[in-house]
């Protein structure tokens, strides 16, 4: 009954994910959607089933409250952008979804978070399985001091995948999707710490993709990338949204407008407004949102 | 216009320099003193330790009263005298004259003023024997089964060496046959003209030091040194080699490391990774670092009481009851000594492992956990490899401390002369219950408990040098290993 205790589904997906996409990799830069409000083919994702439900979630770091009664529904096969000024709690909310906040002793959470209807914080939930289903790319790139290959293969290896051919295949696919393959293919077995900062971030994206999670949490994945890699990542997100649920934190309004179906604006731990991306950017309901998206904020 | 009272960049008053400048010299001076002391210690040990094996020339000293002695100049000193003429300091020299059995004493003082002449005739030899210390004199022929070997010149040392090798077959175990039973016997003429018969089988080596050229001397030095580190001791440790002590120290350090590294690493892992940080953990940490300050003899007492008398007695009662009342593990031995030293050194390992663990970036742990690994998988694949330099530093420190520690060993199993080897062909091959010898204890024993202090002094230096080199080698090996691990972790540059 509680799927978070079983890994079978995500295991099957590893093969399924392999079959289609790697052949038609984006090698042209996106040409449309570079203007705010002109999100490419705006979709109405509210018809998709809800994947993640956040219900009156509040979070405290010790005595300091960082999230206030956040209500948010994230639909299947959609891209949701979290925007807001620095320190407003975007990363904190993201880390609630894969329970990374468990690692901080002082954190206390109230409210209810569900993935496919299952309570994330139920005491029977195995966080390891949850985290396999909900992958994460961190704000600061954090490659392991291992080879590039081993970095990407890491998630599979800890799941016990030993088949070398499968590992090779997944590593290549993941690196291709993260737009790193061409730069890395000749040095797969060199240390990942020898990559540039932007390459390291793309490596972390490849690492998260390798285990084919259902949900991908991306905390400013493009903050250290040049425009070309950024475009590649955005194309990747565009591809992934057909199958995955993506939550992306970004400081770039343009990026949010380009990649996301829905956008949530946070201020001081409060979810101010959430809606269809083009609506948030062209016709915000709240004054704070309008100030922020038009750059008049603070 | 703000130029009026602008402060200058030069020192304000009287060129006394900046405050605290003198401290530079004080600190530099202290450091220099320390370095000088260290270099002094190392030089002293090295020179004294290495000169032991040098074939020193053998002198034939004729004194004014006509008496003659043969010996190696050992050391000199000033004779204390009345204040009448203070300028001329009279000296005397101690000669190692050997022949303890025949002359009663191995050393003799000679006033430098009383010496008429000193020569170094090439035919006198220094003979290392199994018993009674060295013999010095001139070889006057060899008898085989009572018949003198005719064609043997007194300086045909190659022939003597061959005969010594041949006679070795006559030994019974490590013992030489008596003179009246031996087949090969040599006659040695002492300084006073007396002759003594020595069974060739009782001879370890003949050193014709005066006949040696420079190359021979170096070869002889190498041979002596080689035998020093590869042979068993003789004559209550005053002669022979120190192999069992080297082996004992090595095995003890090895076992100690095998015990202390897992123990310390696991302890540090729990403290740093699993335990909820709070007052209790802080207290445990404090206790651990204070443990490092407990005098080592106290650890020895604990080892004796806990390992030997408690655990050892129980092991004997359950596993070796057929041998009781002779204790097997119920008495000091290699295992208990190693475990005692492991306890003594575990704080160092814990402290530096914790430092290593703390240095692992939080982001890397999170990266691993976010991919769905368990806490243990993260520790095993990410945290421990990254903390390896810290762990190795701890190991290095533990080895450095453990290899030189003597006091606790004296209570838990070290002996001056081990009855049986630690490793041999009888199962279980490595005898954890056996008493063992140790370089540090050997220094103490030979230096201060020896019946023949003067003769064993060089062995003390040589043993100290070996101990020092031993520790340096162990540390170097560990440091090289750590650097390799570090380089692997850092990868190439950005
Ligand atoms: N480990 C922590 N302990 C205590 N307070 C924290 C911790 N992490 C974050 N905070 C606080 O929680 C608030 C929200 O932080 P969060 O990292 O979620 O902001 P953010 O929206 O991601 O900002 P940015 O855009 O700069 O990444 C901030 O005020 C921050 O100071
Ligand atoms: Mg953040």
CA dihedral A64, A66, A68, A74 (to 10 degrees): -160
The answer to whether A190 contacts B366, with C-beta atoms less than 8 Å apart, is no
Nearest CA to ligand 1 atom 28: A87
Residue B194 has a pLDDT of: 84
Nearest to A144 among B364, B374, B493 (CB): B364
Residue B468 has a pLDDT of: 87
Residue A40 has a pLDDT of: 52
Nearest-angstrom CA–CA distance, B311 and B433: 13
The answer to whether A158 contacts B371, with C-beta atoms less than 8 Å apart, is yes
Q: What is the nearest CA distance from B483 to chain A, expressed in angstroms?
A: 15
Q: Report yes or no: A221 at the B interface, CB cutoff 8 Å.
A: no
Nearest-angstrom CA–CA distance, A231 and A237: 10
Based on the number of CB atoms within 10 Å of its own CB, is B97 exposed (0-12), middle (13-18) or buried (19 or more)? buried
What is the three-class DSSP state of B47? helix
Instruction: Report the percent of chain A where pLDDT is more than 70.
Output: 85
**Both tokens assigned to A160:** 């016990």
Residue A82 has a pLDDT of: 94
Listed residue (A239, A203, A213) closest to A25, CA to CA: A239
Q: Report yes or no: A115 at the B interface, CB cutoff 8 Å.
A: no
pTM beyond 0.80, yes or no: no
Confidence at A103, pLDDT banded by 50, 70, 90:
confident
Nearest-angstrom CA–CA distance, B224 and B241: 9
pLDDT digits (tens, 9 = 90+) for A192-248: 988 888 889 889 999 999 998 999 999 998 887 788 888 888 888 888 888 889 999
DSSP B346-368: HHHHHHHHHHHHHTS-HHHHHHH
Does the C-beta of A87 come closer than 6 Å to ligand 1? yes
The answer to whether B382 contacts A140, with C-beta atoms less than 8 Å apart, is no
Residue B455 has a pLDDT of: 78
For residue A86, how far is its CA from the centre of ligand 2 (angstroms)? 7
Tell me the ligand closest to A96's alpha carbon.
1
Interface with B, mutate which of A13, A103, A199 (most B CBs under 10 A): A103
Distance of CA B395 to the CA centre of its chain: 20
Residue B86 has a pLDDT of: 60
Based on the number of CB atoms within 10 Å of its own CB, is B279 exposed (0-12), middle (13-18) or buried (19 or more)? exposed
The answer to whether B368 contacts A154, with C-beta atoms less than 8 Å apart, is yes
What is the three-class DSSP state of B109? strand
Interface with B, mutate which of A128, A209, A219 (most B CBs under 10 A): A128
The answer to whether A204 contacts B364, with C-beta atoms less than 8 Å apart, is no
The chain B residue lying nearest A196, using CA atoms, is: B494
Nearest CA to ligand 1 atom 30: A87
Distance of CA B169 to the CA centre of its chain: 32
Mean pLDDT of all residues in A9-31: 39
Residue A7 has a pLDDT of: 44
Q: Report yes or no: B275 at the A interface, CB cutoff 8 Å.
A: no
Contacts with A87 (C-beta within 8 Å, 6 or more apart), sequence order: none
Residue A18 has a pLDDT of: 40
Mutate which of A62, A66, A223 for ligand 1 pocket (most atoms within 8 A of beta carbon): A66
Which regions of B171-263 does DSSP assign to beta strands (E)? 184-189, 195-199, 203-207, 233-234, 239-240
DSSP A146-179: SBHHHHHHHHHHHTT---HHHHHHHHHHHHHHTT
Element counts in chain B: helices (H) and strands (E): 15, 13
Interface with B, mutate which of A142, A171, A211 (most B CBs under 10 A): A142
Contacts with A141 (C-beta within 8 Å, 6 or more apart), sequence order: A197, A200, A201, A203, A204, A224
Does the C-beta of A86 come closer than 6 Å to ligand 1? yes
Q: Flag whether pLDDT at A8 surpasses 50.
A: no
Q: Report yes or no: A138 at the B interface, CB cutoff 8 Å.
A: yes
Nearest to B491 among A100, A145, A196 (CB): A145
Listed residue (B469, B449, B46) closest to B238, CA to CA: B449
Q: Report yes or no: B381 at the A interface, CB cutoff 8 Å.
A: yes
**Both tokens assigned to A79:** 């891209």
For residues B141 and B197, the answer to whether their CB atoms sit within 8 Å is no
Listed residue (A31, A50, A37, A21) closest to A234, CA to CA: A31
What is the three-class DSSP state of B128? strand
For residue A247, how far is its CA from the centre of ligand 2 (angstroms)? 13
Based on the number of CB atoms within 10 Å of its own CB, is B460 exposed (0-12), middle (13-18) or buried (19 or more)? buried
Ramachandran sector of residue A173 (left: φ over 0; alpha: ψ -120 to 50; beta: rest):
alpha
pLDDT, block means (10 residues), chain B with 494 residues = 56 59 87 94 87 85 85 82 65 84 83 84 84 83 76 75 77 74 79 82 82 86 88 76 88 92 93 87 90 89 88 80 73 87 92 91 92 92 89 88 88 81 77 83 84 79 88 85 79 42
Which position has the token pair 């001076």? B29
Question: Rounded to the nearest 5 degrees, what angle is found at the Cα of B66, between the Cα atoms of B63 and B68?
Answer: 65
Nearest CA to ligand 1 atom 4: A61
For residues A81 and A48, the answer to whether their CB atoms sit within 8 Å is no
Nearest to B366 among A103, A143, A159 (CB): A103
Q: Flag whether pLDDT at A17 surpasses 50.
A: no
Count of C-beta atoms within a 10 Å radius of residue B293 = 7
Nearest-angstrom CA–CA distance, B115 and B266: 70
């Amino acid at each position: 009954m509680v799927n978070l205790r079983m890994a079978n589904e995500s295991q099957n997906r590893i093969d399924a994910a392999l079959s289609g996409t790697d052949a038609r990799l984006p090698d042209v830069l996106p040409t449309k959607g570079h203007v705010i409000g002109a999100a490419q083919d705006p979709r109405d994702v509210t018809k998709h089933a809800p994947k993640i439900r956040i219900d009156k979630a509040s979070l405290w770091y010790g005595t300091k409250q960082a999230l206030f009664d956040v209500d948010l529904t994230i639909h299947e096969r959609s891209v949701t952008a979290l925007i807001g000024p620095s320190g407003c709690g975007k990363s904190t909310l993201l880390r609630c979804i894969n329970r990374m906040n468990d690692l901080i002793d002082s954190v206390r959470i109230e409210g209810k978070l569900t993935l496919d209807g299952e309570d994330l914080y139920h005491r029977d939930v195995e966080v390891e399985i949850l985290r396999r289903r909900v992958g994460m790319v961190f704000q600061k790139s954090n490659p392991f001091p291992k080879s590039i290959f081993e970095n990407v293969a890491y998630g599979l290896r800890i799941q016990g995948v030993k088949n070398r051919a499968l590992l090779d295949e997944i590593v290549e696919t993941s690196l291709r999707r993260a737009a790193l393959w061409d730069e890395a293919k000749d040095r797969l077995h060199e240390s990942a710490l020898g990559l540039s900062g932007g390459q390291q971030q793309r490596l972390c994206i490849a690492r998260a993709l390798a285990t084919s999670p259902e949900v991908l949490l991306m905390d400013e994945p493009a903050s250290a990338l040049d425009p070309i890699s950024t475009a590649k990542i955005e194309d990747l997100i565009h591809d992934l949204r057909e199958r995955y649920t993506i939550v992306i934190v970004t400081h770039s309004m343009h990026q949010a407008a380009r990649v996301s179906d829905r956008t949530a604006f946070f201020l001081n731990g409060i979810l101010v407004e959430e809606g269809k991306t083009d609506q948030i950017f062209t016709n915000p309901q709240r004054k704070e949102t309008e100030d922020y998206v038009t750059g008049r904020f603070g | 216009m703000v130029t009026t009272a602008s402060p200058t960049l030069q020192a304000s008053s009287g060129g006394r320099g900046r405050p605290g400048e003198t401290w530079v010299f004080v600190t530099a001076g202290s450091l220099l003193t320390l370095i000088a002391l260290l270099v002094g210690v190392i030089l002293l040990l090295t020179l004294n330790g290495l000169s032991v094996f040098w074939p020193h020339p053998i002198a034939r000293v004729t004194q004014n009263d006509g008496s003659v002695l043969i010996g190696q100049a050992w050391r000199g000193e000033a004779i204390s005298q009345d204040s009448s003429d203070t300028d001329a300091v009279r000296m005397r020299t101690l000669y190692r004259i050997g022949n303890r059995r025949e002359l009663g004493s191995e050393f003799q003082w000679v006033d430098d003023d009383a010496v008429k002449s000193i020569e170094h005739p090439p035919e006198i030899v220094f003979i290392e024997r199994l018993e009674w210390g060295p013999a010095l004199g001139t070889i006057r022929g060899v008898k085989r089964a009572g018949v003198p070997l005719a064609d043997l010149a007194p300086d045909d040392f190659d022939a003597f060496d061959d005969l010594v090798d041949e006679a070795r077959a006559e030994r019974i175990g490590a013992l030489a046959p008596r003179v009246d039973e031996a087949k090969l016997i040599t006659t040695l003429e002492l300084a006073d003209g007396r002759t003594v018969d020595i069974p060739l089988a009782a001879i370890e080596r003949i050193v014709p030091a005066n006949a040696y050229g420079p190359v021979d001397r170096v070869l002889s030095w190498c041979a002596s040194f080689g035998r020093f580190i590869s042979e068993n001791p003789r004559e209550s440790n005053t002669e022979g080699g120190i192999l069992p002590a080297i082996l004992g120290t090595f095995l003890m350090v090895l076992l100690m490391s095998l015990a202390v590294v897992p123990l310390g690493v696991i302890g540090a892992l729990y403290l740093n990774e699993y335990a909820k940080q709070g007052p209790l953990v802080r207290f445990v940490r404090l206790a651990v670092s204070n443990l490092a300050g407990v005098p080592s003899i106290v650890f020895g007492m604990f080892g004796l009481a806990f390992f030997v008398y408690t655990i050892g007695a129980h092991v004997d009662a359950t596993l070796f009851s057929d041998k009781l009342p002779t204790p097997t593990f119920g008495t000091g031995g290699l295992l208990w000594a190693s475990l005692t030293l492991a306890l003594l050194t575990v704080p160092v390992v814990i402290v530096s492992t914790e430092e290593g663990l703390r240095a692992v970036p939080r982001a890397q742990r999170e990266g691993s956990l976010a991919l769905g690994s368990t806490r243990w998988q993260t520790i095993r694949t990410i945290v421990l490899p990254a903390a390896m330099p810290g762990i190795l530093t701890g190991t290095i420190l533990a080895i450095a401390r453990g290899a030189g520690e003597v006091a606790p060993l004296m209570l838990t199993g070290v002996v001056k002369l081990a009855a049986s080897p630690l490793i041999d062909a009888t199962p279980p091959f490595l005898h954890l219950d056996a008493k063992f010898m140790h370089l540090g204890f050997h220094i103490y024993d030979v230096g201060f408990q020896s019946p023949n202090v003067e003769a064993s002094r060089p062995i003390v230096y040589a043993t100290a040098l070996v101990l020092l080199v031993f520790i340096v080698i162990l540390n170097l090996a560990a440091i090289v290993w750590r650097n390799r691990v570090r380089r692997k972790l850092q990868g190439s540059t950005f």
